[in-house]
Chain A
């Protein structure tokens, strides 16, 4: 079992819709969770982080964390073509390294 799992996609959504990206992790001791956006040929850009169970909202983005289910998700409301990218989920289990999933490729169709 991979430590951090994401569906590779592509996930295609129409412009204006809600995109839902999911991530599961195996280490129950994980303490902090991050979503990065990576455009093709570029480096990862931090979108959001979440430490506590529940929802955290920032503009069009909402991160959701359920530690009991070992599940973290990212919702993108009013999706735009510029949101088309690969979204990386990263988990920190209290050590100094982040463990990344392989990313989900999102395509927002105009």
Chain B
């Protein structure tokens, strides 16, 4: 049973460019959340996708957008990259039952913006 997968593992971009990160959830999971983790910090919630809709969003600008596909996989897009966008981007998948949900993380994509 495959866990959460993410691609690519590493990425180097320059300021102003755009980037797309991809995530496939764990088998049986229908919900995907994206987090940004800067060095020495805890993960910060970007947004969550469920039934192909953005269900909740954290405190991130509109430069951060996403999409969820019918097979539950998801993409995170970041436009007009800033140096401060350099971080580990984590995808977490989950399935909510009885109002409770447990999130499992993928290996992450490390983004460096030069």
Which residues on A are within 8 Å of B, measured CB to CB? 4, 31-32, 34, 36, 42-46, 49, 51, 88, 90, 92, 94-103
Contacts and interface: CB of A to CB of B under 8 A. Distances in A.
A49 B56 contact: no
Contact of A44 (B41, B43, B44): B43
B88 A98 contact: no
A65 B44 CA distance: 23
Interface stretch (B12-20, B67-75, B79-87, B99-107): B99-107
B45 interface: yes
B48 interface: yes
Interface of B: 31, 33, 35, 40-45, 48, 50, 55-56, 58, 88, 90, 92, 99-108
B90 A88 contact: no
B42 A96 contact: no
B43 A32 contact: no
Given A43-B108, A97-B58, A88 B42 contact: yes
A46 B50 CA distance: 21
A44 B43 CA distance: 9
Contacts of B43: 44, 88, 98, 100
Given A43-B88, A46-B102, A102 B56 contact: no
B33 to A, nearest CB: 7
Contacts of B50: 96
Nearest to A4: B42
A95 to B, nearest CB: 6
Contact of A43 (B56, B100, B102, B107): B107
